[in-house]
Amino acid sequence: MQNRIKVNQQFYKKMFALAIPISIQTLLISSLNMVDSLMIGQLGVDSIAAVGVGNKITTILILILQGFGTGAAIFTAQYWGRKDLTGIRKILYITFFIVTVFSLLFTILTFLFPILFIKIFTNDIAVIELGAGYLRIVSLSYFVTALTVLFSTVLKSMGEVKRPLYIAIIAIGLNTGLNYLLIFGNLGFAELGVDGAAIATVIARTIQAVLLLILIKQHLALTLSSFTIRENFDRELLKRYLVITVPSILNHALWTVGETSYFWVYAQMGTAQLAAATLIDPLLFVFMALFIGLSDASTVMVGNSIGANDEEKAVNYAKQFLVITFVLSIIAGLGVVLLSPLYIAIYNVTDFVASQAQSILYVYGLLITGKMLNMVNNIGVLRAGGDTKYVLYLDALGVWLVGLPLALAGAFLWDLPIFIVFALANSHEIVRAFFGIKRTFSRKWMNNVIDIQSNDRDSVTSL
């Protein structure tokens, strides 16, 4: 009994050390994004919709980048469990090269053809004009955004969460301050509206990427040669990375297109419906913050245990994370329902938009348990074990065979209100949670992605 209590104490101590800083960082980002959203909200429904569409396109990039980052996170967590810094440097190089090429290509396309991207979602001329200008400016931040995603992912997988939190606070504070100055023209600055919000985003993300680069350089003793092919290219490691990461990338791509399709459905229902579906995001992210911390903590703790060849501990950790997530998600759902009227009242929108947004939040409060179980179990636990193919199948089938057909039918066949279409679109969360948890209890998801017989073993560096 005493040994079990000691094990539980060690679990919670490590979990809190990882999850709390990540959750606080995410909460700060969400809270200040809410402030940004409120600032834009004062400009009217068209501005809300324009920035919402522009950010949705940026989110597509970020989600795909996270697919690349997932592979880096799995390898880094397991290398860290084996105290192999050289392996981490190699996987960092591989992922750095890939995300650099991808983000620059995405930048070129969105900078040159912003109107084509915005028109995917809306035919409203005012929204297109505002959104295209916003997107063209924000596209200049995509390369540093890729670096931020990569560096943050690697650092978290090494258990470094506090200093990235401080860096995030600096970046978020800078972004919010610049928004105040540039959106409304305060303190003598030009009044730029949504373009001002875009400029603030570019500056803040650049500062964040530079500070994270300095931090990761310290952790891994990086030099300029650390990013040269001669020193870090490892063909065998690249093959293993692709085997693990390609399903994750496909997963993120299919998921992103699916989620974007939902957003497209909302946009086709009208600008008011689009605004209602857009303005709820900041509040949802506030409640998601805790579970993002739990998900990242589960990736690190389960991945470290597998890397150290302690599969029993990995399974016990996974089960404990599921119980904690279930209980906290119930509480979060109640929080969303109780706070939604107060939150919606802050916005300068019509009564119709306000009522639809509030109804969407009520629906979200009911679905949040399934969503958060998927976040911690599928994204955190299963991927930490390298079970990326199963997560790919589960997410793709859920989004494309359950959520999207129901959303399309609800909007265009049955002519249902936006909040019911939202419920239909997200019903797949319950289905995925059931099969995901079943997979965890089967123990088939645990894979040690590091080949002990490879040359990586010879490069183990003592910490």
Residues in the chain: 463
pTM, 2 dp = 0.69
Q: Over pLDDT 90: what percentage of the chain?
A: 26
Indicate if the pLDDT at residue 369 is higher than 90. Answer: yes
Rounded to whole angstroms, the Cα distance separating 334 from 22 reads 23
Q: Over pLDDT 70: what percentage of the chain?
A: 89
Q: What is the mean pLDDT of residues 355-376?
A: 92
Indicate if the pLDDT at residue 449 is higher than 80. Answer: no
Nearest to 162 by CA among 356, 16, 48, 294: 16
pLDDT of residue 38: 66
Indicate if the pLDDT at residue 458 is higher than 70. Answer: no
Indicate if the pLDDT at residue 409 is higher than 90. Answer: yes
Return the higher-pLDDT residue of 200 and 253.
200
pLDDT digit string (tens) for 315-334?
Answer: 889 999 999 999 999 999 99
Q: Say whether 9 sits in a helix, a strand or coil.
A: helix
Rounded to whole angstroms, the Cα distance separating 95 from 97 reads 5
What are φ and ψ of residue 16, in 5° steps?
-65, -35
Indicate if the pLDDT at residue 198 is higher than 80. Answer: yes
Rounded to whole angstroms, the Cα distance separating 419 from 349 reads 17
Tell me the domain boundaries of the chain: 11-446
Nearest to 70 by CA among 142, 150, 15: 150
Most confident of 123-132, 165-174, 425-434: 425-434
Q: What is the mean pLDDT of residues 254-272?
A: 83
pLDDT digit string (tens) for 3-32?
Answer: 566 667 778 888 888 888 877 767 766 555
Q: Say whether 446 sits in a helix, a strand or coil.
A: coil
Return the higher-pLDDT residue of 448 and 219.
219
Residue 76, classified by CB atoms within 10 Å of its CB into exposed (0-12), middle (13-18) or buried (19+), is buried
pLDDT of residue 385: 84
Which residue is it, tokens 């689009």? 274
pLDDT of residue 331: 94
Indicate if the pLDDT at residue 185 is higher than 90. Answer: no
Minimum mean pLDDT range among 16-20, 364-368, 449-453:
449-453
Report yes or no: 23 and 289 within 8 Å, Cβ to Cβ. Answer: yes
Report yes or no: 298 and 321 within 8 Å, Cβ to Cβ. Answer: yes
pLDDT digit string (tens) for 202-243?
Answer: 999 899 999 999 998 887 876 655 555 555 567 788 788 888
Report which secondary-structure segment, H or E, holds 73. helix 45-81
pLDDT digit string (tens) for 244-254?
Answer: 778 877 877 78
pLDDT of residue 432: 93
Nearest to 173 by CA among 25, 315, 370: 25
pLDDT of residue 454: 44
pLDDT digit string (tens) for 74-91?
Answer: 888 778 877 788 888 888
pLDDT of residue 41: 67
pLDDT of residue 7: 60
Indicate if the pLDDT at residue 1 is higher than 70. Answer: no
